[in-house]
Amino acid sequence: MATVEEKDLIQTEQQTLVRVENLKKYFPIKGGVLKRTIGHVKAVDGVTFDIKQGETLGIVGESGSGKSTLGRAILRLLEPTDGKILFNDQDITHLRNKKLRPIRRDMQIVFQDPFASLNTKMSVEQLIEEPLIIQTDMNKKERKELVNTLLEKVGLRASDRMKYPHEFSGGQRQRISIARALAINPKFVIADEAVSALDVSIQAQVLNLMDDLQDEFGLTYLFISHDLSVVKHVSDRVGVMYLGRLVEVAPKKPIYENPLHPYTQALLSAIPDTNVDVEREKIKLEGDLPSPSNPPSGCAFRTRCPMAHERCAEVRPELQHKGDGHYVACHLYDEE
Amino acid sequence: MDKETLNTPNINAVKTIEDNSEQNINGKKPQKSKSPFQLALRRFLKNKLAVIGVFTLIVIIAGSLSAPLLTDHSPTKSNLLMVEHPPSDEHLLGTDQSGRDNWSRLLYGSRISLIVGFSAMFFTLIIGIILGSISGYYGGKIDNIIMRFTDLILALPFLVLALTIMAIVDDISVSLFVTIIALVSWPNLTRIIRGSFLSLREQEFVLGAKAIGASDMRIIFRHMIPNIMGLIVVNATLMVAVMIIVESGLSFIGMGIPQPQPTWGNMLTEALSVRILTQHWYAWIPPGLCILITVLAINFIGDGLRDAFDPKSNQR
């Protein structure tokens, strides 16, 4: 396998598959007798990044940081409030449903809850076959054959075809979701907390499966999770989200070994360690995530940041390049 | 690969255990999978009251279908020489004030009552499904318009409205009658369906269907409606009972299906006279009992269906 430097080099030559520019998703808060909009929950508040062909971008953040909203907005399952989504250099931000359909063929999503993400009234065969019916003109026989191959590929038996979701365990259901997502041979798959609801041992199985499938089909992943070790396991690059904003993006190694943003440092210091002999310095964050309907001025993290200074309250820090693809949004690294 | 290994127990070991257990299950005989619908059916058949209800309803429907075989008398032909005769071999339940055979009227009357009950339910269901799903799925302005309209209909007093319409139209046919009661009874079902659509809309499997590019129609009919089928079936069944009661009630006060066409409701009209109420039990007890039994049977079926589709509600 290539070393990190080589890998970075390859990546710069690779084509950008997905580009997100200043993406915003605000949910209106309705109030009063007339149900007027009295404010907004800024779930995703100006996020910019790109994903290269064949890589895995991990997005981490605590609950409520807007990770899932980001994923859903990229797939246009939620209408973005502002910003731009480019898929294969095509602007899909405002495409109508009809024009979006052929593009949906290339981007799929695997959801968090394996018990809610499959229609329980459909058999496995119907579930996996559905994207084929919508997106291709395969005949019944071809579809059946493909369903069988897909089932075997994700580690289920072809004889499971006629079963219903309630007959499977969480991990098996997640495999069905993956088979369904892969049926139409997408280029880009968003895994929205895809393994968070599973036992650790099953998590590893599903992660390894996703990894194998990536090699086999050249998939590009956006891997959303709150679990830092899972993200470390699967990602090539990692983005850290806080209150709807991306605070740091970098290749995996630098971000885990040399995190720049105080929030990333705090997150990483909170990973439990099996080695008890080494004393590690833990950074404890005070307080809760501020309300996304009324985020702090300037840097959203300043209320909990141990290193906050005056400028943090005044100016919102933008992502700045610190070399080797390491981006950070923090005033500590401003160059005066 | 330079992927770090997770802090997990030996993954391969776990895999083999799982494989073994799967083989064991498969080693016996692959069990036939049951769809959620089949599972519901099995739970339904275990419910004694509901099964009794089904049998009762079948008997009633069979009786109404085979009415010509069970009686030689016309339900509408009056015979003024045979007025208010008590039960006899010729007239099993006697005759009414116009000399019509009560037994024959009871049999033919069941047709009207059942037709009204089922077809009014059917129309209400169609209106309810269409408006409820549009309202709940699209939300926003459309939802607002439809919901204000249902509020409007709900605010109208049903009986007064029905009476007014019946009073304006002098010759009320069965189809008109059905239309009228369907047009005023759809709001409740519409609201129920809209409510469940609102909560289903945010479910991940619906988002997943959107993600594979499914059309709105496909999402509504293939994904959302099957998931509230239980709710729809239960409400539709219970609605048949309500519709039969409504028909009987309106016919009883003379505002329903007019004479000489027999319905259970307008057969009861005879009981308005104290003389018949006290002396001629055979004129009003049978239709009254029929209404009672039919409505009870349908309600048992409805309750059974509810428990079958939603097993959680049955955990007493």
Domains of chain A from N-terminus onward: 4-106+226-272+280-333 (3.40.50.300)
pTM recorded for the entire structure: 0.78
CB contact under 8 A, B212 and A131: yes
Instruction: Say if the Cβ atoms of A274 and B7 lie within 8 Å.
Output: yes
**Residue B75 C-alpha from the chain's centroid:** 27
Asked if A102 and A183 count as a contact pair (C-beta separation under 8 A), the reply is no
The pLDDT value recorded for residue B274 is 76
Across the interface, do A77 and B211 touch by the CB < 8 Å criterion?
Answer: yes
The CA distance from B133 to the nearest CA of chain A, in Å, is 18
Is residue B106 within 8 A of residue B283, CB to CB? The reply is no
How far B134 CA sits from the closest chain A CA (Å)?
A: 17
Indicate the residue of B4, B37, B216 with minimum beta-carbon distance to A233. B4
Which residue of chain B comes nearest to A228, CA vs CA? B6
Cα A289 from Cα B305, distance rounded (Å): 46
Mean pLDDT of A151-172: 85
- Closest CA of chain A from B101, distance in Å: 51
Inter-chain residue contact A75 with B211, CB threshold 8 Å = yes
Q: Cis before residue B260, ω within 30 degrees of 0?
A: yes
Query: Over chain A, what is the mean pLDDT?
Result: 85
Residue B90, CA distances (Å) to A238, A285, B63 in order: 92, 94, 19
Q: Which residue of B has its CA nearest to A212?
A: B1
pLDDT band at residue A298, thresholds of 50, 70 and 90? confident
Q: Which are the contacts of A183, defined by CB distance < 8 A and separation ≥ 6?
A: A128, A129, A131, A132, A146, A147, A150
Average pLDDT, integer, range A169-176: 86
A190 pLDDT tier (thresholds 50, 70, 90): very high
With CB atoms and an 8 Å threshold, state whether B227 touches A232. no
- Cross-chain residue pair A123–B207, CB shorter than 8 Å: no
The number of C-beta contacts closer than 8 angstroms across A and B is 113
CA distances from B152 to A219, B148, B195, B314 (A): 54, 6, 18, 35
pLDDT in tens, A112-147: 888 888 888 888 888 999 999 988 888 888 899 889
Please tell me which of the candidates A135, A180, A205 has its beta carbon nearest to residue B15: A205
Nearby residues of A99 by Cβ (< 8 Å), 6 or more positions away: none
CA nearest to A157 within chain B = B22
Question: Is the pLDDT at A28 greater than 70, yes or no?
Answer: yes
| Least confident among A105-109, B87-91, B154-158, B262-266 | B87-91
Q: Which domains does chain B have, with CATH numbers?
A: 51-65+92-311 (1.10.3720.10)
Nearest-CA distance A306 → chain B (Å): 30
| 3-state secondary structure (DSSP) of residue A277 | coil
pLDDT band at A279 (very low <50, low <70, confident <90, very high): low
User: Nearest by CB to B6, which of A112, A135, A204?
Assistant: A204
- The three-state secondary structure class of A50 is strand
Q: How far apart are CA B75 and CA B264, in angstroms?
A: 12
Predicted confidence band of residue A223 (pLDDT cuts 50, 70, 90): very high
Q: With beta carbons under 8 A apart, name residues in chain B contacting A184.
A: 212
Q: Which of A108, A113, A166 sits opposite B211 (nearest CB)?
A: A108
Between A104-108, A159-163, B22-26, B291-295, the lowest mean confidence (pLDDT) is in B22-26
Instruction: With cut-offs at 50, 70 and 90, classify the pLDDT of residue B10.
Output: very low
How far does the CA of residue B28 sit from the closest CA of chain A (Å)? Answer: 14
> Are A211 and B30 an interchain contact pair (Cβ–Cβ within 8 Å)?
no
- Local confidence band at B214 (pLDDT 50, 70, 90 cut-offs): confident
Is the pLDDT higher at B102 or at B54? Answer: B54
* Nearest-neighbour CA in chain B from A316: distance (Å): 33
Query: Looking at the predicted complex, does its ipTM rise above 0.90?
Result: no
Picking from A96, A112, A122, A206 by the largest number of B CB atoms within 10 A of its own CB, the best residue to mutate is: A122
Range with the poorest average pLDDT among A47-51, B86-90, B140-144, B251-255: B86-90
The nearest alpha carbon in chain B to A190 belongs to B211
Burial string for B213-226 (b: 16+ CB within 10 Å, else e) reads bbeeebbbebbbbb
Residue B32: the pLDDT is 63
